Structure 1
Amino acid sequence: MSNYVIHADQKLLATLRAYYKDALSDRLPAGALFAAKRPDVTITAYRSGKVLFQGKAAEQEAAKWMENHTAPENKQKDQNRAKTTALSEQELGSLSAIGSDEVGTGDYFGPIVVAAAYVDRGHLDRIAALGVKDSKQLNDETITRIAPTIMETVPYAVTVLTNAEYNRWQQSGMPQTKMKALLHNRTLAKLIDDIAPIEPEAIIIDQFLERNSYFRYLEDETRIVRERVHCLPKAEGVHVAVAAASIIARYMFLAEMDKLSRTVGLPLPKGAGAIVDEAAAQLIRQQGVGALETCAKLHFANTKKALDIAKHS
């Protein structure tokens, strides 16, 4: 069981009691002011001002309150985080690290795919020698050729957000940036579990949000990968693990596009240009507008354009 402690003044103690009022417990340990129990965390506040968080979500829950209230026993952790954050890009590039990237966010057809890859220090040169670079700099033929070798060489994890699920999330009001945050976090958690007990020295996300905004989107998640996480622009140039993840994500996206094309019986083009509008219009004419729900991101402007084309052709 994870334990995490903060020190709170009287004002914060009152705030905590009010926040957890629906989960307050009648059974109090000696010296406690109040205790609250939630599914993944138990919170116990003591008269001394110490607040103890216990359970799977202990660190995530404590993090909501720890600004300017960090307990002495947690200071070393915070100093370690600060030291990692202060590393230069050159230093980060030499570490054993997990990198993560996503593809498909700007494509009308096809899912969003997030991949994470772990590359240890001993494999940095070997992976770089494969010609690993940002997938946007490689054509699909090259990606199809080198991705299997990368996937045989390094541990990786992939999460695919299908179009049907994407449309449900989007229609519920979720912005695409939050979708990406959730997918990255879940993919990182899968890979961390897969490589355990190995612990990466850094986790590098190709930045689509500032780090603080990224973690705000994850507040309701039961598990948050928080330690040693860096959100860096053009991160594929910082660490080869991000470039490897980028290639794996693109490779899996291409496979998903082929699968969708076979399912609908029509070649589905990538991107969101005029050729996509025409393909979507053809699909509407052949199978009805409902066919788009499982292969397209419906809120894109392409849907309206395709409907107009189908109507007037």
Structure 2
Amino acid sequence: MRSLASQPLAIHTYTAPLTLRQVEKLRQILTLHGFQLAIQPHTVFCAQKDKLRIVVYQKGPKVLIQGKGIEDFVTFQLEPNVFEQASFGYTEAVQSELHAPHFGIDESGKGDFFGPLVIAGTYVDHSLAHIFSSLGVRDSKRISSDKRIRDLARQIRKSGAPSEVIAISPLKYNELFLRFGNLNKLLAWGHARVLENLCKKQPDCPYALSDQFADVSLLQQALMTYGKKLCLKQRTKAESDVAVAAASILAREKLIDWLDVASAQHALRLPRGASLAVKNAAVTAVEKHGLHILHKIAKIHFKTATEVSLLVRRSHLP
């Protein structure tokens, strides 16, 4: 059996013995998280999802895990929910940080031309961290299904975890962007408000974790009365933390809900991102409603807005 903690490089294979009870628990977890299960010779079952493959062999029995995402699966699913102990590379330091009471904060919509900028925060403690891990809560960017996002968001709310979601509509976003002059200041403003409201809901929370800010001082300066009492921690890829991951799911849900409603209101599909499909949708929106519509449905500092404006004007030239 290979210990994740002892491996300096990325793990490509992981094996461990299982009891019959653990085999069934693993089967349930894989089914819950959308793995495709099959039976092959000499196996109890095989499971596949994306680039992660899991095989449970009859002999032993033992589990073999291969592919992309091994460390996350072992750390957040196999160890806490199947082995129920932190002896397989799930170090005390990692477990302590994962389960310690704290806020996680993340945003969605920052890179999307259409829709709001959504900032969300969630509180976890030992019990909530375990619940979220067992549900399969992970960074929303790794979840492609809107249905799955909504299902997880509903479960997060059902858990009773204190949370806060702020959606800055395009109209308000464009106003604030003009006032602040750059996105980092606007993000700091939004993060500070989410943290302030979370502190009122869970005043004894000792610290908050977010992804790395380009300029940490911006967030420090934006914090308000309650937020100033918090210890702020930032790190790259903070979404691996279950509280940050939960926040990312709540933020993503709010974004896709807004886009669905706005698409219905304007009889036009408003896709995510800033691709050619997004530009084409923007051109259609402007042709139907006029240039002013972009202020209501899009972030006009994106170069897409300028490109769309030029395309529409050229199309009306004699």
Is 2:139–2:239's contact at 8 Å kept on the other side of the alignment? yes
The Cα of 1:148 is off from its aligned counterpart by: 0.6
2: CA distance between counterparts of 1:245 and 1:202? 15
2: CA distance between counterparts of 1:201 and 1:227? 6
1: CA distance between counterparts of 2:229 and 2:280? 43
Query: Among residues 132, 138, 143, which one is paired with 2:137 in the alignment?
Result: 132
Is 1:278–1:309's contact at 8 Å kept on the other side of the alignment? no
* Letter of the structure 2 residue corresponding to residue 95 of structure 1: A
2: CA distance between counterparts of 1:150 and 1:245? 9
Map of 2:208 onto structure 1: 203
Relative distance call for 1:141 and 1:208 in structure 2 (3 A) is farther
Query: Among residues 177, 187, 190, which one is paired with 2:194 in the alignment?
Result: 187
The Cα of 1:206 is off from its aligned counterpart by: 2.0
The Cα of 1:89 is off from its aligned counterpart by: 5.8
Is 2:191–2:219's contact at 8 Å kept on the other side of the alignment? no
Map of 1:233 onto structure 2: 236
Residues 83-115 of structure 1, C-alpha deviations (whole Å, 9 max, x = no match): xxxxx6654223011100001111100000000
Map of 2:183 onto structure 1: 176
Map of 2:151 onto structure 1: 145
Is 1:118–1:155's contact at 8 Å kept on the other side of the alignment? yes
* Letter of the structure 1 residue corresponding to residue 157 of structure 2: M
SS state at 1:268 partner: coil
SS state at 1:289 partner: coil
Question: Structure 1 unaligned runs (5+)?
Answer: 1-87
Relative distance call for 1:150 and 1:222 in structure 2 (3 A) is closer
Map of 1:258 onto structure 2: 260
The Cα of 1:224 is off from its aligned counterpart by: 4.0
Single out whichever of 131-140 and 255-264 deviates more from structure 2.
255-264
* Letter of the structure 2 residue corresponding to residue 191 of structure 1: L
* Letter of the structure 2 residue corresponding to residue 286 of structure 1: K
* Letter of the structure 2 residue corresponding to residue 275 of structure 1: A
| Count of aligned residue pairs for this structure pair | 222
1: CA distance between counterparts of 2:254 and 2:158? 14
The Cα of 1:213 is off from its aligned counterpart by: 4.0
Q: State the Cα RMSD in Å.
A: 2.0
1:3-152 superposed matches below 5 A:
91-139=96-144, 140-152=146-158
1: CA distance between counterparts of 2:215 and 2:175? 26
Map of 2:174 onto structure 1: 167
1: CA distance between counterparts of 2:226 and 2:153? 29
Query: Greater relative contact order (Cα 8 A, min sep 6): structure 1 or 2?
Result: 1
* Letter of the structure 2 residue corresponding to residue 120 of structure 1: D
1:155 aligns with 2:162: yes
**With structure 1 as the length reference, what TM-score do the two structures score?**
0.66
Relative distance call for 1:227 and 1:173 in structure 2 (3 A) is closer
**With structure 2 as the length reference, what TM-score do the two structures score?**
0.65
Map of 1:290 onto structure 2: 292
2: CA distance between counterparts of 1:225 and 1:174? 24
SS state at 2:99 partner: coil
Residues 143-198 of structure 1, C-alpha deviations (whole Å, 9 max, x = no match): 122211111112211111111111112223421111111111101111121234xx
Question: Structure 2 unaligned runs (5+)?
Answer: 1-92
Residues 280-311 of structure 1, C-alpha deviations (whole Å, 9 max, x = no match): 10011111001111111111111122123323
Residues 41-78 of structure 1, C-alpha deviations (whole Å, 9 max, x = no match): xxxxxxxxxxxxxxxxxxxxxxxxxxxxxxxxxxxxxx
Map of 1:271 onto structure 2: 273
Identical aligned residues as a percent = 31
Single out whichever of 205-214 and 280-289 deviates more from structure 2.
205-214
* Letter of the structure 2 residue corresponding to residue 285 of structure 1: E
Is 1:210–1:231's contact at 8 Å kept on the other side of the alignment? no
The Cα of 1:223 is off from its aligned counterpart by: 5.9
